[in-house]
């Protein structure tokens, strides 16, 4: 069982609202990631972090922002949500000293965001 | 840019049959991984194969890797109804000093096991 948690599970909001998607992991992983996935489609990397105070943009341009103030916490924020932001957002992490496992990703259950 | 490309996009078989999914990729990799996703949920890691390995087994799973063809296959033997899910390959690229960290995923194969 992965020790990585995302809240909320589902979020329906109106256009223009500011939202924050939460992601926390208790595995002490340094690397954390946000992926965006439309139904039946591939995952696109939108943000990642190597550790505290590190944030980088991924391959897919996104209007969202992230922060990494604590190792275990990697929230994603949308300042003004639009219908085009409707998607599933998946948080993941990896790391640790065990070389047999530190390359695989552990995923949260995802947040399904719908912007009306 | 998309790295992994799974084939077929969808596969429906009878319970007990074997299921084979293929993945092609474009750049040099450190390793290739397969993940499973149940509808509307996060992904679960299944198996990792390194670039210097050709075949790997884990329970009913068998993965092959051909780096000369930049392709991999996932075989699920003796399929069960509970294997119904989407399966994604993901590549962990060799460090190139400029690309984003993280795995690059394909579009996935949607597998349906008919009871």
Assess whether pLDDT exceeds 90 at residue B97. Answer: no
The chain-wide mean pLDDT, for chain B, equals: 90
CATH code of the domain covering residue A105: 2.60.40.10
Instruction: Mark out chain B residues that contact chain A at CB-CB < 8 A.
Output: 1-2, 4, 30-31, 33, 35, 40-45, 48, 86, 88, 90, 92, 100-108, 110
Average pLDDT over residues A97-112: 89
Tell the CATH topology of B5-95+103-114. Answer: Immunoglobulin-like (2.60.40)
- Retrieve residue B20's tokens: 């084979």
Distance from the A68 Cα atom to the nearest Cα atom in chain B, whole angstroms: 16
In a 3-state reduction of DSSP, which class is residue A84? helix
Look at chain A and count its residues: 116
Distance CA B78, CA B107 (A): 24
pLDDT tens-place string over residues B69-94:
999 999 999 999 999 999 999 998 87
What is the band of B96 on the pLDDT scale with cuts at 50, 70, 90? low
CB atoms under 10 Å from CB of A76, counted, come to: 23
pLDDT tens-place string over residues A25-38:
999 999 999 999 99
- Domain boundaries defined on chain B: 5-95+103-114
Distance CA B110, CA A47 (A): 26
Assess whether pLDDT exceeds 70 at residue B2. Answer: no
Is residue A42 exposed (0-12), middle (13-18) or buried (19+ Cβ within 10 Å)?
A: buried
Q: Which pLDDT score, from 0 to 100, does residue A33 have?
A: 96
In the block, residue with structure tokens 């489609």: A41
Based on the structure, what is the number of domains in chain A? Answer: 1
Residue A86: which domain range? 4-115
CB atoms under 10 Å from CB of B54, counted, come to: 11
When scoring B4, B30, B95, B102 by the number of chain A Cβ atoms within 10 A, the one with the most, hence best to mutate, is: B102
């Amino acid at each position: 069982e992965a020790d990585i948690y995302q809240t909320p599970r589902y979020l329906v909001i109106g256009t223009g609202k500011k939202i924050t998607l939460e992601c926390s992991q208790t595995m002490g992983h340094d690397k954390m990631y946000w992926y965006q996935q439309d139904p039946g489609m591939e995952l696109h990397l939108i943000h990642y972090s190597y550790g505290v105070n590190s944030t980088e943009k991924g391959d897919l341009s996104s209007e969202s922002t992230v922060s990494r103030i604590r190792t275990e916490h990697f929230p994603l924020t949308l300042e003004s949500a639009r219908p085009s932001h409707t998607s599933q957002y998946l948080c993941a992490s990896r790391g640790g000293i065990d070389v047999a496992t530190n390359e695989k990703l552990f995923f949260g259950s995802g947040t399904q965001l719908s912007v009306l | 840019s998309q790295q992994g490309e799974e084939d077929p996009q969808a596969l429906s078989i009878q319970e007990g049959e074997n299921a084979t999914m293929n993945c092609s990729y474009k750049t040099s990799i450190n390793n290739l991984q397969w993940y499973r996703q149940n509808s509307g949920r996060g992904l679960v890691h299944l198996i990792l194969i390194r670039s210097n390995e050709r075949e790997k087994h884990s329970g009913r799973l068998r993965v092959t890797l051909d780096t000369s063809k930049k392709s991999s296959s996932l075989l699920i033997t003796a399929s069960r109804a509970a294997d119904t899910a989407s399966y994604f390959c993901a590549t962990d690229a060799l460090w190139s000093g400029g690309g984003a960290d993280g795995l690059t995923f394909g579009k996935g194969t949607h597998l349906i096991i008919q009871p």
